[in-house]
Structure 1
Amino acid sequence: MARGVLSFPLTSFHDDGSLDLDGFRTHLGAQLAAGPGAVFPACGTGEFFSLDEDEYRRVVTAAVELTAGQVPVVAGTGYGWAQAARFARIAEDAGADALLVLPHYLVAAPQDGLVGQLERLAERTRLPLIAYQRGQVAYSVESLRRIVRIPGVVGLKDGHSDLDRLQRLTLAAPEGFLFFNGAATAEIQARAYAAVGVPAYSSAVHAFAPEIAGAYHTALRDGDGNGNGKTVEKLLREFYVPFVELRDRVPGYGVSLVKAAARLRGRPVGPVRAPLTDPSATDLADLASLLSTGLDLVGAVL
Structure 2
Amino acid sequence: MPPNASPRRLDGLLFFPVTAFDAEGRFAPGVYREHVEARLADGPGAVFAACGTGEFPALAPQEYELCVRTAAEAVGSRVPVIGGCGYGTTLAKEYARAAANAGADGLLVLPPYSADGGQDGLLRHYTALAASTDLDLILYQRDTTVFAPETVAELAQVPNIVGFKDGRGDLDLMLRIVSAVRTAGESGFLFFNGMPTAEMTQLAYRAVGVPLYSSAVFCFAPDIALAFHRAIDAGEQKTVDTLIDVFFRPYVQLRHKRPGYAVSLVKAATRAAGHEVGAVRAPLTEPAPEHVAELLALLDRTRAALR
| Range of TM-score over shorter length | over 0.9
Deviation at residue 160 of structure 1 after TM alignment: 1.2
SS of the aligned residue for 1:40 comes to strand
Local SS of the residue matching 1:277: coil
CA displacement at 1:139 relative to structure 2 = 0.7
The number of residue pairs the alignment matches comes to 295
Is 1:117 aligned to residue 125 of structure 2?
A: yes
Task: Report the Cα distance in structure 2 between the residues aligned to 1:27 and 1:138, rounded to whole angstroms.
Answer: 33
Instruction: Give 1:142 deviation, angstroms.
Output: 1.6
Please name the residue that 2:242 is paired with.
Answer: 234
Q: Deviations over 1:126-147 (max 9, x none)?
A: 1011000001211101211221
SS at match of 2:49: coil
1:157 match: 165
Q: Partner residue of 1:275?
A: 283
Task: Return the offset for 1:148.
Answer: 1.4
Q: Which residue of 2 aligns with 1:46?
A: 54
User: What SS class does the counterpart of residue 197 from structure 1 fall into?
Assistant: coil
1:4 aligns with 2:12: yes
In structure 1, the residue corresponding to 2:163 is in which secondary structure? strand
RMSD: 1.2
Q: Does 1:181 align with 2:189?
A: no
* Corresponding residue for residue 210 of structure 1: 222
CA contact (8 A) 1:108 1:136 kept: no
Q: Which secondary structure does the structure 1 equivalent of 2:63 belong to?
A: helix
Scaled by the length of structure 2, what TM-score is found?
0.93
Pairing 1:24-39 to 2, within 5 Å after superposition: 24-39=32-47
2:78 is matched by which residue type in structure 1? Q
Q: Which residue of the partner structure matches residue 231 of structure 2?
A: 219
1:7–1:40 CA contact under 8 A, matched in 2: yes
Task: Choose from 80, 84, 91 the match for 1:72.
Answer: 80
Identity %: 48
CA distance in 1, matches of 2:272, 2:36: 16
1:88 aligns with 2:109: no
- Whole-Å Cα distance in 2 between the matches of residues 160 and 66 of structure 1? 32
Q: What amino acid is the match of 1:37? A: G
How far 1:184 sits from its partner (Å)? 1.0
CA contact (8 A) 2:10 2:80 kept: no
Query: Please, which runs of 5 or more residues in structure 2 have no aligned partner?
Result: 1-8
5+ residue gaps, structure 1, are: none
Distance in structure 1 (CA, Å) of the matches to 2:10 and 2:134: 23
SS of match in other structure, 1:217? helix
* 2:141 aligned residue (109, 133, 140): 133
Q: 1: distance between equivalents of 2:29 and 2:140? A: 27
Asked if 2 retains the 8 angstrom alpha-carbon contact of 1:2 and 1:199, the reply is no
Secondary structure class of the residue paired with 2:259: coil
